[in-house]
Structure 1
Amino acid sequence: MKNTKDTTNLSQTKGESSVWKNRLRILLFGAATFCALEASAQNGGKPAGQDKFIDKSNMDTKVKPGDDFYTYANGVWLQKNPVPAKETRWGSFNQLRDFNIIAVRTILNDAAAKTSAPAGSVERRVGDFYAAAMDSAAIEKLGYTPIKADLERIKGIQDVNGVLHEVATLRSTGAAAPMFGFYVGQDRKNVEVMIPQLSQGGTTLPDRDYYLKNDARTTRIQDAYKTYITKLFTLTGVDQATAQKNAETIFNIEKQMAAAQMARVEMRDPHKTYNKFAVADFSKTTPNMDWKSLMAKMKVSGEDTVLVNNPKFFTELNGMLTATPVADWQTYLQWNVLKSAAPYLSSDFVDANFAFTQILSGQKVQTPRWQRMSQLTDGTIGELLGQLYVQKHFKPEAKARMDEMIANLIKAYEIRIKGLDWMSAETKEKALAKLGTFRPKVGYPEKWKTYDGLEVNRNTFFQNVRNAGQWGYNDMISQLGKPVDRTKWGMTPPTVNAYYSPVMNEIVFPAGILQFPFFDPNADDAVNYGGIGAVIGHEISHGFDDSGSQYDKDGNLRNWWTAEDRSRFQAKADQLVQQFNDYTVQDTIHVNGKLTLGENIGDLGGLSAAYEAFKMTKQGKSKKKIDGFTPDQRFFLAWAQVWRTNILPETEAQLILTDTHSPGKYRTIGAPVNMDAWYKAFKVKPGDALYIAPEDRIRIW
């Protein structure tokens, strides 16, 4: 569904976990800012007063569904639910996330108040972390003191070796991740082995295009970014002229890095980004960077191979190391410390951070501190918090129902694969073998992360954040030389999202998403299959999208297709690319069909399989109406209400560049217009705006 954030978080994520998340195929978007919405746990996540699972009062029935299904299904709701000032978009996901964040807030407040909890207990560590995060008075007194030592140390760098030593130090201590990306993950062509991996990086703005384009909107963002850099330096006592010069230096360094990066569409190609080197051989391509020595400083030893997603980036970086004055590298490294720390320092830093993200997102007012710190707690020690969350908000019957629905969706997918008219028997056999090895995970990990060795002190917020960053990094490094941990989760239990991991060949559904509008134990099958059923199908479909389909049943990046079948699949995928390219978002801005292809295949395959599974149920076989709607109509309306979203134009424009997901409006209609059942359910005829002739409807899975 990751993912990305509504507003740009310029801080470094712990253990470079953002890279781990980027390797998942995610249903939604990464994370979101939250706005309070009063709801009760007993209400299953539905807004207060919501009794109907398909509420006709939210619809604009004056609109023909065949002309504008999105407005027909959601028009009145969209009119009545503008984006709140604290948000960048507002939709069903935000409402559910608000329900969850309020539930989390209660847990955190209770834990923080329970100072008698035993030292080292889950409740004590969660409570202490949150209490320290909420102690704004102590944080204000410190100003930027927590990072003074880092800034001073960087001033002492003498040469390129000193620059690289500092890059390793900042990364391994959880302070920042400058210059490039680094993580430990499964070898995509040998998934039983964990291997160090290097990726392009070093930039701050959300996409390389923000550095390389010069249209009015982009230059406005570039100017705001330089203003932000200047502001943070002046807050540390640097004079205005020097701070402005620093901003130009940093922007120019990052612009060079951006120019060497591959575009997002290229980065979706798992073969193009798979480049394995012997460490010694890779060092020969970057003479100024001895990777054996550098990785040792990053706590990696005894590894003789490395995976690199963009070798060209590193050859360019190698040249930059000596072409750029050491003084400029000092400035760049200081900036990496500043931007990573800003959200966790005194209010003048936090406010400067928000002022910049406002330009990117259009968000009107800053998210309240309690919400930001609740998110931070979840993102930092999420499997401690998650234990408290599932005790109160995850029922065994929800897991049992999910297990049943997953089994039904896999059965439906099996039926659909067997019935494909474009795939040979040989490739079908391999596809079915892969489907048969899918591993579902529901609710929460079977083995909780303990965070042993992570120090959390009730009185030292910034140090807690830094400790967590270092702990996360060490935990990541510790995976080298060990068997792959297949119990590991890429999301925390309260997360309203889901994902597929190609190297694990697993589909994962955190407890947080198992609520209305996706799922409700009291809802009819049409609603549950149009909601969570389509989510399950979406994640299964990621195993067979343009990228995931290149991984075999064991998770290895290995071709299992005949050349003819792959060619036929690609032709169908190209049709879907064109369908979404034709959707206009703003003025001349269109959906990027290639960037969003994997998610669009996920939606089309997922909704189609969910409908197949729904038709196996008693309700699916009937024509009995509920609240005036047939079972099939309720199925498609449930899908539509999941994606209703109002969004700020600034955020929308940013997401078109950076998000692999299409806008909610086009997710609502993109799959149904290719499904015969939708036409029949709503009597869509030739001449209706959304009508596609049967022979032109795209059928992939």
Structure 2
Amino acid sequence: MATAALGALALAAVPATAQEQAAPAAQTDAQPEIGTFGFDLSGMDKSVQPGDDFYAYANGTWAKNTEIPADKSNYGMFTALADLSQTRTREILDVAKGDPNSMIGRAYASYLDSAAIEAKGLAPIEPWLNKIRAVDKAGLAKLLAEADRSGVQHFFGGYVGQDDKNPEVYIYTMFQGGIGMPDRDFYLKENERNAKLQAAYLTHLENVLTLAGEQDAAARAKAIYDFEKQVATVHWDKNDSSDATKVYNKMTIAELAAAAPGFDWQAFIRGIGVNEDSLLVSQPSAFTGEAKLLAAAPIGVIRDMLIVRSLDGFSDVLPDAVAEEAFSFYGTALSGTPQMQERWKRAVDFTTGNMGEAVGKDYVAKYFPPETKAAMDVLVKNVLAALDTRITNLTWMQPETKVKAKKKLANFTTKIGYPDRWKDYSKLEIKADDLFGNALRSNQFAHDDNISRLGGPIRRWEWGMTPMTVNAYANFGMNEIVFPAAILQPPFFDPHADDAINYGGIGAVIGHEVSHHFDDQGAKYDETGKLADWWTPADVAAFEAAGKALIAQYDAYEVLPGEKLDGTFTLGENIGDLAGLTIAYDAYKKSLGGKEAPVLGGLTGDQRFFLGWAQVWRRNYREQNLSQRITTDPHSPSIQRTWVSRNLDPWYKAYQIKQGQKLYLAPKDRVRIW
């Protein structure tokens, strides 16, 4: 990765600290990694008018010429960087593999030893499968607690996190489960695509039972499917499950037992290591329904479900026949991916998935220079300053609410690149010749570490992503925004690229994550991370009106024939895109210090800014993957994410967008929130 000093980013948007002032811009002749100024001009399709399809204009030739690799369900800028991260991590792990004292080396080696894995067959998991085969209703709660600790999904899940209404305290939160397909809609919505998925899933259930050595697999698979469909009917839908207010339901164990009789909640909760009495139950009516179904279901159906979940959950560390069967449904049928990743890639993912920060320490030392972190820090400050100004100038927010909003903004924590404190894996046992055991012990280690939070101080040093992750996130309870090292690369960020490209790329990503704290859910949390009412009724009404307009805009997008976006489900992410791009544009303009941006490649600064935004969303999807995302992903697909620019007045001016063009919105119809 190219390295650079702060000089490639203008610092005018916020006052520099004394330390920043003491570090003058470095003068280098380094070139950006992409094109002459950070944008790939060859990927454009200038036969398309920007006002008709801005995505195609900016990315059309790239889209036409880019094939999705056989081991991918989609391919774009995120996946290209993920591939780079995977390759770099492989180099680190190949070295570590030769060191018997290296935990990550032993984990990696154990995954690569396919001959040993095939020779062992299902022997490593048979003791657990035999426990399942022997369980009765009386022992079910205890067995499910063991499944929970071992990483086997079952009828409900849980984790220890901050109490939304008391964020200085940890609490155990439970959520609905019990289905093998990703969402209730796959069972309950009747259409041709779902019918095919249901048939494929039924075949998958039969094949897994057969692999486990079970008899009469077809009939038993049908019984599992019928039970799961019943469970799907009591599940909350994705919109209710995404509502922070609706899912905050504090109960004691006794209250849960009264609300959801038929299951030994005390034995389960204590069995997973939770010794406190207060819980958060995300979807209470689903727990009531599931407990009733569990009580009524034949024990054989429950056993068979757990056998399937166990083999699916550990499929990647078992013989190829099991791994390939799991992939045939979850990879190919659901997402359209033709083939599995090569073993070395899966070995990298296994190691980073279980010991991510142990790998991350070496990764950032080799691939994340301090100059990039420093330059990113300046960009973040500029974007935060732009949002502060936006809040000042809002016409719909009441003065008293503005004071609180600014206080929340000032209280943000920003994490860039990697943790200041690395996770300690010293209690995790990893053996070079025991892949299944490594996976099981890693799951147990992660579970125990999570449960150990209870009663302790809030771990503000923890990260929810590894440095190798190409992504970013906002954490409402921590009031923080987090940007792992791997996303801080071209096309998102290049210290040698034109500022307009950087602000349109990573600047808008920063704005996106910042604005999540003020979206339809994030706005429910105050400056301390507490779920609280801090808006006036007038603020709420104005915000909801703007949200409804954005919902309607995205509801109208037909992504595939007969399959439209759900504007309500994607609202938070769409607000993030709209606000992020708006804020980043302000920050970019302020960074110019009142001067006109130069014309580069025949493009004005504003044109380059919006192209920088469009470039990061280059992505081709397989049809199955795109359809699945419409149901399960709160983010809109890349084309529609790019189109959010149609709500910004500067976009119209930059490209001379005219009435009658497909993306044109009359000024009164442009959604303006932040």
> SS at 1:186's partner residue?
strand
Instruction: Work out the CA distance in 2 between the residues paired with 1:44 and 1:323.
Output: 67
Q: Between 595-604 and 98-107, report the one with greater CA deviation.
A: 98-107
Instruction: Work out the CA distance in 2 between the residues paired with 1:266 and 1:339.
Output: 28
The alignment status of 1:681 with 2:654, answered yes or no, reads yes
Instruction: Work out the CA distance in 2 between the residues paired with 1:587 and 1:571.
Output: 29
> SS at 1:529's partner residue?
helix
Superposed, 1:93-492 pairs within 5 Å as: 93-115=78-100, 119=101, 124-158=102-136, 160-172=137-149, 174-239=150-215, 242-301=216-275, 303-357=276-330, 358-492=332-466
Residues 648-684 of structure 1: CA deviation (Å, up to 9, x unaligned): 11111110000000010010012x1111111111111
> SS at 1:507's partner residue?
strand
Q: Structure 1 residues 56, 498: CA separation in 2 closer, same or farther (over 3 Å shift)?
A: same
Aligned residue number for residue 660 of structure 1: 634
Q: Between 611-620 and 384-393, report the one with greater CA deviation.
A: 611-620
Residues 310-354 of structure 1: CA deviation (Å, up to 9, x unaligned): 111111122122211122222222222122122210011111111
Query: 2:310 is aligned with what amino acid?
Result: V
How much does 1:286 deviate? 2.5
Instruction: Work out the CA distance in 2 between the residues paired with 1:458 and 1:84.
Output: 31
Aligned residue number for residue 16 of structure 1: none
Query: 1:254 is aligned with what amino acid?
Result: E
Instruction: Work out the CA distance in 2 between the residues paired with 1:619 and 1:376.
Output: 48
Instruction: Work out the CA distance in 2 between the residues paired with 1:205 and 1:97.
Output: 25
Query: 1:493 is aligned with what amino acid?
Result: P
| Contact map agreement 1:581 1:592 (CA 8 A) in 2 | yes
| Contact map agreement 1:577 1:594 (CA 8 A) in 2 | yes
Which of 534, 538, 544 does residue 564 from structure 1 map onto? 538
Which of 71, 74, 80 does residue 65 from structure 2 map onto? 80
Q: Between 81-90 and 501-510, report the one with greater CA deviation.
A: 81-90
The alignment status of 1:92 with 2:77, answered yes or no, reads yes
Aligned residues: 644
Instruction: Work out the CA distance in 2 between the residues paired with 1:236 and 1:696.
Output: 58
Instruction: Work out the CA distance in 1 between the residues paired with 2:158 and 2:626.
Output: 29
How much does 1:289 deviate? 2.7
How much does 1:614 deviate? 0.3
Instruction: Work out the CA distance in 2 between the residues paired with 1:320 and 1:622.
Output: 67
Residues 596-623 of structure 1: CA deviation (Å, up to 9, x unaligned): 0000000000000000000011388314
How much does 1:442 deviate? 0.4
What is the TM-score normalised by the length of structure 2?
0.94
How much does 1:293 deviate? 2.7
Aligned residue number for residue 24 of structure 1: none
| Contact map agreement 2:43 2:61 (CA 8 A) in 1 | yes
Instruction: Work out the CA distance in 2 between the residues paired with 1:58 and 1:535.
Output: 21
How much does 1:51 deviate? 5.3
Query: 1:395 is aligned with what amino acid?
Result: P
Query: 1:166 is aligned with what amino acid?
Result: L
Instruction: Work out the CA distance in 1 between the residues paired with 2:339 and 2:261.
Output: 48
How much does 1:287 deviate? 2.8
Residues 145-169 of structure 1: CA deviation (Å, up to 9, x unaligned): 11111111222223x2212221111
> SS at 1:605's partner residue?
helix
| Contact map agreement 1:163 1:330 (CA 8 A) in 2 | no
Aligned residue number for residue 604 of structure 1: 578
Instruction: Work out the CA distance in 2 between the residues paired with 1:555 and 1:262.
Output: 25
Query: 2:355 is aligned with what amino acid?
Result: I
> SS at 2:590's partner residue?
coil
Instruction: Work out the CA distance in 2 between the residues paired with 1:232 and 1:110.
Output: 36
> SS at 2:287's partner residue?
helix
How much does 1:177 deviate? 2.6
What is the TM-score normalised by the length of structure 1?
0.90
Following TM superposition, the consecutive aligned residue runs of length 4 or more in structure 1 with deviations greater than 6 angstroms are: none
| Contact map agreement 1:620 1:632 (CA 8 A) in 2 | no
How much does 1:285 deviate? 1.8
Query: 1:690 is aligned with what amino acid?
Result: L
How much does 1:195 deviate? 0.6
Instruction: Work out the CA distance in 1 between the residues paired with 2:375 and 2:500.
Output: 14
Q: Structure 1 residues 46, 339: CA separation in 2 closer, same or farther (over 3 Å shift)?
A: farther
Instruction: Work out the CA distance in 2 between the residues paired with 1:322 and 1:694.
Output: 58
> SS at 1:388's partner residue?
helix
Instruction: Work out the CA distance in 2 between the residues paired with 1:567 and 1:95.
Output: 42
Q: Between 536-545 and 326-335, report the one with greater CA deviation.
A: 326-335
Query: 1:232 is aligned with what amino acid?
Result: V
Instruction: Work out the CA distance in 1 between the residues paired with 2:202 and 2:123.
Output: 23
| Contact map agreement 1:519 1:528 (CA 8 A) in 2 | yes
How much does 1:175 deviate? 4.2
Instruction: Work out the CA distance in 1 between the residues paired with 2:33 and 2:221.
Output: 46
Query: 1:167 is aligned with what amino acid?
Result: L
> SS at 1:197's partner residue?
strand
Instruction: Work out the CA distance in 2 between the residues paired with 1:523 and 1:452.
Output: 42
Q: Structure 1 residues 175, 45: CA separation in 2 closer, same or farther (over 3 Å shift)?
A: farther
Instruction: Work out the CA distance in 2 between the residues paired with 1:85 and 1:328.
Output: 36
> SS at 2:203's partner residue?
helix
Which of 565, 571, 578 does residue 591 from structure 1 map onto? 565
Instruction: Work out the CA distance in 1 between the residues paired with 2:414 and 2:239.
Output: 28
| Contact map agreement 2:142 2:267 (CA 8 A) in 1 | no
Aligned residue number for residue 66 of structure 1: 51
| Contact map agreement 2:431 2:438 (CA 8 A) in 1 | yes
Q: Structure 1 residues 250, 373: CA separation in 2 closer, same or farther (over 3 Å shift)?
A: same
| Contact map agreement 1:208 1:258 (CA 8 A) in 2 | yes
> SS at 1:361's partner residue?
coil
Instruction: Work out the CA distance in 2 between the residues paired with 1:600 and 1:285.
Output: 36
Aligned residue number for residue 53 of structure 1: 38
Q: Structure 1 residues 286, 68: CA separation in 2 closer, same or farther (over 3 Å shift)?
A: closer
Instruction: Work out the CA distance in 2 between the residues paired with 1:99 and 1:426.
Output: 47
| Contact map agreement 1:277 1:305 (CA 8 A) in 2 | yes
How much does 1:355 deviate? 1.3
Instruction: Work out the CA distance in 2 between the residues paired with 1:234 and 1:59.
Output: 50
> SS at 2:250's partner residue?
strand
Which runs of 5 or more structure 1 residues have no equivalent in the other structure? 1-42
Which of 502, 508, 523 does residue 534 from structure 1 map onto? 508
| Contact map agreement 2:45 2:57 (CA 8 A) in 1 | yes
Instruction: Work out the CA distance in 2 between the residues paired with 1:525 and 1:310.
Output: 46
Query: 1:63 is aligned with what amino acid?
Result: V
| Contact map agreement 1:619 1:631 (CA 8 A) in 2 | no
